[in-house]
Amino acid sequence: MYRKISTYIEEYLTGDEDRILCIDGARQVGKSYVIRELAKKHFANYIELNMADDKVGDRLFANVKTVESFYIQLSVKYGAKLHERKNTIVFIDEIQEYPELLTLLKPLRNDNRFKYICSGSELGLALSKTTLIPMGSIIEKKMYPMDFEEFLLANSVGEDVINYLRDSFLKKLSLEESLHNKILNLFKTYLYVGGMPDSVKQYVETKNVYKIRETQENIISFYSEDAAKYDKENKLKIKRIYELLPSSIENKVKRIQYKAIENIEDVRYTKYINEFDYLLSSGIALDTKAVSEPKFPLVQSSSKNLIKLYMNDVGLLTALLYKSNINAITDKDSGINLGAVYETVVAQELKSHGHELYYYDRKKIGEVDFLVDDYDSLNVLPIEIKSGKDYRNFRALPKLLENDNYKMTKGFVLSNSREVVVDEKIVYLPIYYIMFI
């Protein structure tokens, strides 16, 4: 299955970059698979070190502190494959299991004996806790579940079709009815399959909802186990916050209510800062920060205390909400409010495109679901998400667009409606066009 990040990794493997590439992302998003396939393709001598396996096995690298000791342990298992940099690559998987190895990346880079690439399911968290961060010696790249475009490609939708969709989006054109129905149905399928490669593989090969849900439930269990391994003392609080995500985003007030975590009144964000750091750094949750002033750049008025948290994959969310009854998603007359599901898939999509996520909420004005920085126009792009038929029912978006202080040139409203409509500064778009924002 094609992954966009493959191009980036391949350019690194075949280029002259001497810094060590570290792919960071949640478990099961496909990091190891992509790296393994590309590294084997370009290097005659491929060496893979899985530190999670080493930690529960031989522990060869448990006490490695120097380049020399690293090479000794490397040669114990792979001495016959250790040749020159041009034909030898060492892939260090789950490097965060031994945080000392992160510090060792700088001297390994300076020694320049082999080509290296790393990955980790909690790499961001490990780097944040590492005393001597190897700044200047590594490139950290985030990886997310498959986005909707990658999902379409996995389901044999050709690049010509996707290019046609992209061109229609850029020109603000509606799709013809038959193509709209086809893409919208695939989008709704994506809502229950999600972007975890194993789930997508199950769908493509079997179309068996029970097998897809079983795969997703296993991933959710992995996340709980990882939290327990990381922080035995606070694992229950991490698990509780993670379990609150579906209900929080379905509430009228969607931001995390800290008192619900342990039923403690007047509690603040700072009490759970380590737990939130884990959820975000490990990649299993996506944060959306509140802004007091929707002006570019949004980070200047953002607040860490008022956050909305989304699950990192919409398929995992719908597995928790609806189990194997996908009619809640696919049946337009089911009566189920899919607002939380649509917001989650948009958060997932925008994040995978490199956007930092923000939202705006004021009692007198109302709420706008997402705000992102538009670096091309040095402006803010507000995005409103509508899952039902009342997609023109909102109040905050026009007020932001009309405010001359904010200087917004346009706002998007995404819904199931086929027609693209431009109404002054508001552009109404079908929900699947999110893949091009």
Asked if pLDDT for residue 332 goes beyond 70, the answer is: yes
Note the pLDDT of residue 254.
Answer: 81
| Domain co-membership, 180 together with 307 | yes
The lowest-confidence range among 39-53, 158-172, 190-204, 217-231 is 217-231
| Domain co-membership, 136 together with 165 | no
| Domain co-membership, 160 together with 260 | yes
Note the pLDDT of residue 268.
Answer: 86
| Domain co-membership, 299 together with 276 | yes
CA torsion angle for 428, 432, 433, 435 (degrees, to 10)?
150
Sequence letter at residue 366: G
Angle of CA points 75, 35, 6, to nearest 5°:
150
Sequence letter at residue 204: V
Beta bridge partners of 46: 89
Per the CB < 8 A criterion, the answer to whether 151 and 186 are in contact is: yes
Cβ-based neighbour number of residue 70 at 10 Å: 21
Tokens of 124: 């961001």
Q: What is the DSSP string of 266-312?
A: T--GGGGHHHHHHHHHTTSEEEEEEESS--SSGGGGEEEEEEEEEES
Render pLDDT for 76-102 as a digit per residue (tens, 0 to 9).
989 989 999 999 999 999 999 998 899
Domain termination residue (choose one: 86, 115, 142): 142
List all residues 6 or more positions away from 227 whose beta carbon is below 8 Å from its beta carbon: 235, 238, 239, 242, 278, 282
Averaged pLDDT for residues 250-273: 86
Averaged pLDDT for residues 199-228: 93
| Domain co-membership, 133 together with 174 | no
Note the pLDDT of residue 131.
Answer: 67
Asked if pLDDT for residue 271 goes beyond 70, the answer is: yes
Domain termination residue (choose one: 142, 164, 190): 142
Note the pLDDT of residue 328.
Answer: 93
Residue 150 domain flag? no
The H-assigned helical ranges of 196-286 are 197-206, 209-230, 235-250, 259-262, 273-281
List all residues 6 or more positions away from 181 whose beta carbon is below 8 Å from its beta carbon: none
| Distance of alpha carbon 27 from alpha carbon 276, whole angstroms | 17
Asked if pLDDT for residue 253 goes beyond 80, the answer is: no
Render pLDDT for 342-365 as a digit per residue (tens, 0 to 9).
999 999 999 999 999 999 999 999
Residue 147 domain flag? no
Sheet-wide strand order for 421-423:
302-311, 285-291, 358-362, 366-374, 379-385, 411-415, 426-430, 421-423
Averaged pLDDT for residues 254-271: 88
Per the CB < 8 A criterion, the answer to whether 187 and 432 are in contact is: yes
Asked if pLDDT for residue 427 goes beyond 90, the answer is: yes
Note the pLDDT of residue 313.
Answer: 98
Q: How many domains, the chain? A: 2
Render pLDDT for 40-51 as a digit per residue (tens, 0 to 9).
999 999 999 999
Length of the chain: 437
Provide the greatest CA pair distance for the chain.
Answer: 70
Residue 376 domain flag? yes
Render pLDDT for 127-149 as a digit per residue (tens, 0 to 9).
767 767 677 899 999 999 999 99
Note the pLDDT of residue 389.
Answer: 87
List all residues 6 or more positions away from 162 whose beta carbon is below 8 Å from its beta carbon: 149, 152, 153
Residue 149 domain flag? no
Sequence letter at residue 378: L
Note the pLDDT of residue 124.
Answer: 72
Render pLDDT for 363-383 as a digit per residue (tens, 0 to 9).
999 999 999 999 999 999 999
**45: containing domain:** 5-142
254 vs 435, which has greater pLDDT?
435
Note the pLDDT of residue 216.
Answer: 97
Asked if pLDDT for residue 10 goes beyond 70, the answer is: yes
| Domain co-membership, 287 together with 373 | yes
Mean pLDDT, the chain, whole residue set: 93
What is the pTM (predicted TM-score) of this model? 0.94
Domain termination residue (choose one: 85, 116, 142): 142
